[in-house]
């Protein structure tokens, strides 16, 4: 199967000569090939998006929303098919894939509802017979750049608010996961979106991503990916005076206090550390544990980890699927060696899993380190694999300090039964998302999603906050006094 770009409502072959294979990380099987696009393909897609945008912006927002309802409906009808493609292409276990597709469906309906809101403000004027209000205006053509770990959900977080607000888009999915984008293109077409409103260009970040950022007609770049790439996107975007929204890496922690329900904490930790094989931006990578319950927690974690089956995510009994590719496996293995060199104690896992059929894919054993120093590389850098680092602390103050010591600021969590501890923690943890008595993952689509420090640059995906990325505020003053009234000067 060869995947072509989706431009101006039609399939268009990319101009590049190279193909990239799409490989199932569970077994190495080739699922498809994408032909890599060039700058000229980006030019064609942006021209189509620009030509369609003026008309799209004139469609009343509730009518634009009707397309989103239809897209949500089609996604719902195809939920099982989409989930299976997602698992094959990306590796996450089927239960999580269904959850990710559901997130996209939820976002379609939620943003469709925004078609009848898109609230601005009406405020009193300081002058008589004058009316003042603000409205959200579409920006134009927006560029969406997405990672492979949530190939459909993140695309919906960006494209649906962009559409309902009256923008058209060019989307570059990750080269590892073009099949979900292809499936979404089929849905956009079937939902009857006017040609040019939604465009998908397959290709590398270096070629296609750069061309999108540099294109004078692309007004916004909404990027999700690693902090290293995000920095490059911001630098180039800054040079071209683009509005750039960045959602980047994480080094998220669960804090377990001495009064925590440890059974619940173990469940929360395992789900958020090993779900998606640790490849979520919100994955729990550190466990900051009160010294009085450290040993107990270690035993309970080890006991629960024994029951985790590794394998192909299409098998419903599997809990940990493969990581995305060989390079990811090598990176995780490097961090395990770094941890050992730094003096952390390896309690479980630490090896590439190669038993039987696992040798055909890219599997990592769930791994638990303890006695990890808070400032070691193991505890500070994003690993993006199923690896937990346990860090012991004396009290809540130290726990918060350790949580906040990393350069990232996406998600944090605290397990405690004490209301004072919980409220101090939610105030003082410096991440964009805080969970109480739950792991570090599980965001719902109607609240802002994103992080502080090295995770973001102040924008948010999801929730109404996403509309801030894809709209300009326009303030409108209507003077019906029939005379010149000067604000701040005329007083009556
Ligand atoms: P990545 O940075 O390698 O790639 C992300 C996207 O950027 C891909 O589409 C890629 O092709 C593109 N890209 C690469 N170089 C580019 C360039 N020079 N210019 C423009 N685009 C370029 O990230 P990844 O490996 O695909 O994803 C994993 C990372 O994403 C992790 O760091 C993870 O924490 C992060 N992530 C963050 C969030 C969040 O919301 N904060 C969500 C999911 C993933």
**302 pLDDT higher than 90:** yes
**pLDDT, average across residues 208-231:** 98
Question: What is the model's pLDDT at position 352?
Answer: 98
pLDDT tens for 64-93 read 999 999 999 999 999 999 999 999 999 999
278 close to 384: Cβ distance less than 8 angstroms: yes
pLDDT band at residue 307 using 50, 70 and 90 as cut-offs: confident
What percentage of the chain carries pLDDT values higher than 70?
A: 100
* CA–centroid distance, residue 225 to ligand 1 (Å): 2
Respond yes or no: is residue 96 known to be catalytic.
no
114, 183, 281, 392: the catalytic one is 281
Atom of ligand 1 nearest to the CA of 203: 11
491 pLDDT exceeds 90? no
Residue 449 CA: which ligand 1 atom is closest?
Answer: 40
Which residue among 70, 89, 114, 247 is the active-site one? 247
Q: Are 80 and 105 in contact (CB under 8 A)?
A: no
281 catalytic, yes or no? Answer: yes
Q: Which of 22, 37, 143, 147 to mutate to test the pocket of ligand 1 (most atoms within 8 A of CB)?
A: 147
**Distance from residue 394's CA to the centre of ligand 1 (Å):** 36
Alpha helices in 349-464 (DSSP H): 377-380, 396-403, 419-428
Distance from residue 340's CA to the centre of ligand 1 (Å): 28
State the DSSP string of 97-140.
HHHHHHHHHHHHHHHHHHTT----EEEE-SSTTEEEEEEEEE-S
C-alpha to C-alpha distance for 440 and 9, rounded to whole angstroms? 39
Determine the atom of ligand 1 nearest the C-alpha atom of 150.
Answer: 43
Please list every protein residue whose CB sits less than 6 Å from any atom of ligand 1: 145-150, 154, 172, 174-175, 204-206, 209-210, 224-226, 229, 232-233, 247-250, 281, 382, 384, 410, 451, 455
The Cα 434–Cα 403 span in angstroms is 11
437-451: average pLDDT: 97
Could you give the domains of the chain? 2-248+456-476 (3.40.605.10), 252-436 (3.40.309.10)
When computed from its CA atoms, the radius of gyration of the chain, rounded to whole angstroms, is: 24
Quick check: 445 pLDDT over 90?
yes
29: alpha, beta or left, given left = phi > 0 and alpha = psi -120 to 50? beta
Distance 35 CA to ligand 1 centre (A): 20
Average pLDDT value over all residues in the chain: 98
Mutational test site, ligand 1, from 42, 229, 445, max ligand atoms within 8 Å of CB:
229
Cα of 379 to ligand 1 centre, how many Å? 21
Atom of ligand 1 nearest to the CA of 225: 30
- Note the pTM of the prediction, 2 decimals: 0.98
Report the distance separating Cα 146 and Cα 334, nearest Å.
26
> pLDDT per residue over 308-323, tens digit each?
999 999 999 999 999 9
């Amino acid at each position: 199967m060869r995947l072509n770009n989706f431009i101006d409502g039609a399939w268009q072959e990319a101009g590049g000569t190279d193909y990239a294979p799409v490989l199932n990380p569970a077994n190495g099987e080739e699922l498809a090939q994408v032909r890599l696009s060039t700058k000229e393909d980006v030019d064609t897609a942006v021209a189509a998006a620009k030509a369609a945008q003026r008309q799209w912006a004139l469609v009343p927002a509730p009518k634009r929303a009707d397309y989103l309802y239809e897209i949500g409906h089609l996604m719902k009808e195809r939920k099982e098919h989409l989930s299976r493609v997602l698992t094959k292409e990306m590796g996450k276990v089927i239960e999580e894939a269904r959850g990710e597709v559901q997130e996209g469906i939820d976002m379609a309906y939620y943003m469709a509802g925004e078609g009848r809101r898109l609230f601005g403000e009406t405020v009193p004027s300081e002058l008589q017979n004058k009316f003042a209000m603000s409205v959200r205006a579409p920006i134009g053509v927006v560029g969406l750049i997405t990672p492979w770990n949530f190939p459909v959900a993140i695309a919906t977080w960006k494209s649906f608010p962009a559409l309902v607000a009256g923008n058209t888009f060019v989307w570059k999915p990750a080269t590892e996961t073009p099949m979900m984008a292809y499936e979404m293109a089929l849905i956009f077409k079937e939902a009857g979106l006017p040609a040019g409103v939604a465009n998908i260009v397959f290709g590398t970040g270096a070629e296609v991503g750069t061309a999108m950022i540099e294109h004078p007609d692309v007004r916004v770049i909404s990027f999700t990916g690693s902090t290293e790439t995000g920095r490059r996107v911001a630098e180039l975007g800054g040079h071209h005076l683009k509005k750039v929204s960045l959602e980047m890496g994480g080094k998220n922690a669960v804090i377990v206090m001495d009064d925590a329900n440890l059974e619940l904490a173990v469940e929360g930790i395992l789900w958020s550390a090993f779900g998606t094989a640790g490849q979520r931006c919100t994955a729990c990578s550190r466990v900051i544990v009160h010294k009085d319950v450290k040993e107990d927690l270690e035993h309970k974690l080890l006991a629960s980890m024994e029951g985790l089956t590794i394998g192909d995510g299409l098998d419903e009994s599997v809990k940990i699927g493969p990581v995305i590719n060989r390079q990811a496996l090598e990176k995780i293995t490097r961090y395990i060696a770094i941890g050992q060199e730094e003096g952390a104690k390896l309690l479980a896992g630490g090896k590439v899993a190669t038993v039987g059929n696992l040798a055909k894919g890219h599997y990592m054993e769930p791994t638990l380190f303890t006695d990890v120093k808070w400032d070691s590389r193991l505890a500070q850098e994003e690993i993006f694999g199923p690896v937990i680092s346990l860090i012991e602390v004396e009290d809540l103050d130290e726990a918060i300090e350790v949580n906040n010591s990393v350069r990232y600021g996406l998600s944090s969590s605290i397990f405690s039964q004490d209301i004072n501890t919980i409220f101090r923690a939610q105030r003082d943890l410096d991440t964009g998302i805080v969970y109480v008595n739950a792991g570090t993952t599980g965001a719902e689509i109607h609240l802002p999603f994103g992080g502080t420090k090295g995770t973001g640059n102040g924008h948010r995906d999801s929730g109404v906050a996403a509309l801030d990325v894809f709209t300009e505020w326009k303030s409108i003053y209507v003077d019906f006094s029939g005379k010149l009234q000067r604000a701040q000067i005329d007083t009556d």
